[in-house]
Structure 1
Amino acid sequence: MANLYLLRHAKSDWEDMSVSDHDRPLSPRGVKAAANIGRALARQGVAPEIVLCSTALRARETLDLVMQAGELAWPVQFEPALYGASVQAILDIVRSDAGAFHRALLVGHNPGFHYVARHLVYTGDAELMTALDYKYPTGTFSDIELPDTTLADITPSTGILKQFLRPRDQTNA
């Protein structure tokens, strides 16, 4: 079995419209949500063998807060190609950069993450599946369990949605 974890960056700050999209920071709400998700992931023992993170500021800040709040020490690789990546580009990144691993966490953006999750998942708890079909909100973490030996072998419509943690479901976790 292999697990692909997807973490969409937390809520970003749109106050300063002169800041480029790539350099947009987290909002106060995003900071709180990222910390709550980090504590939840630590309690659950989520342990990726590698983390691939977009270079966008809001993604890097999300990952930093998750790891700090959860007291997590994951190996991180920054991947510029995750910023604005299509489904195929994300899958190519997983296969090439995380292909030798059984558990990888990607930190990045929509719409790519929502589409990748829907592309890989074929079943799961009905409530989780409904939530995934509806929306992939900022700060949301998903765990997709795949039947493959490593992430290099991932194929569409073979995954089981094991978790779909949204910030709104975490209250000072």
Structure 2
Amino acid sequence: MKELVLMRHAKAVPHTVAQGDHGRPLNGRGHRAASLVALELRRRGLRPDLILCSPARRTRETLDHVLDAYPSPPPTRLEPELYLAEAERLVDRFRQLEADVGSALLIGHNEGLAEAAILLATAGEPTALASMRAKFPTGAVAWLRLPVDDWAEIGGRSRGELVAFIRPRDLGTEV
């Protein structure tokens, strides 16, 4: 059994020509949301063996909040090919994870992130599945449990269960 946690970067400032899309930082709401979601993941017992992150500024700032939630931060890889990656590219990347990685967290971007979650999660609590399929907002997390022993087996017939769909607004604090 493998666990895959897909986290969309938190809310960022609007795109400007000066900073470009890649350089957009989180806004105040995004910083608060990223911190809340990271702490919720830790509270629920998530301890990823590996974190993969797009190198965009907004994903790296989201990552900083995740790392701050753990006394001993998990190993992290910034991977340029994850920037605005499509769902199939993400699934291909997950298939390449090392066998000793039992739980992986990806911090990335929509639309590919939401589409990968929808592709891989075919079971779970119906309301959570419907919410995830309807909208994957900034700062949200899809926590999947995949019935495989080897990452290369995911996709195809090996679909997973949505363990949790966490949105910042669901944490009971205004962000």
Normalising by the residue count of structure 2, what TM-score does the alignment of the two structures yield? 0.92
More displaced stretch, 21-30 vs 35-44: 35-44
The answer for the alignment partner of 2:136 in structure 1 is 136
> 3-state DSSP class of the match of 1:3?
strand
The within-5 A match list for 1:25-44 is 25-44=25-44
More displaced stretch, 162-171 vs 25-34: 162-171
Q: Which runs of 5+ in 1 are unaligned?
A: none
Correspondence 1:12 to 2:43: no
The answer for the alignment partner of 2:163 in structure 1 is 162
The answer for the alignment partner of 1:94 in structure 2 is 94
Q: 1:172–1:71: structure 2 CA closer, same or farther, 3 Å change rule?
A: farther
Structure 2 distance, partners of 1:10, 1:156, is 30
The within-5 A match list for 1:11-160 is 11-14=11-14, 16-71=16-71, 73-96=73-96, 98-100=97-99, 101-156=101-156, 158-160=159-161
CA deviations on 1:85-116 (whole Å, 9 max, x unpaired) are 111111111122x2422211110000001000
Q: Which runs of 5+ in 2 are unaligned?
A: none
Aligned residues: 172
Normalising by the residue count of structure 1, what TM-score does the alignment of the two structures yield? 0.93
Flag as ranges the 4+ runs of structure 1 deviating above 6 A: none
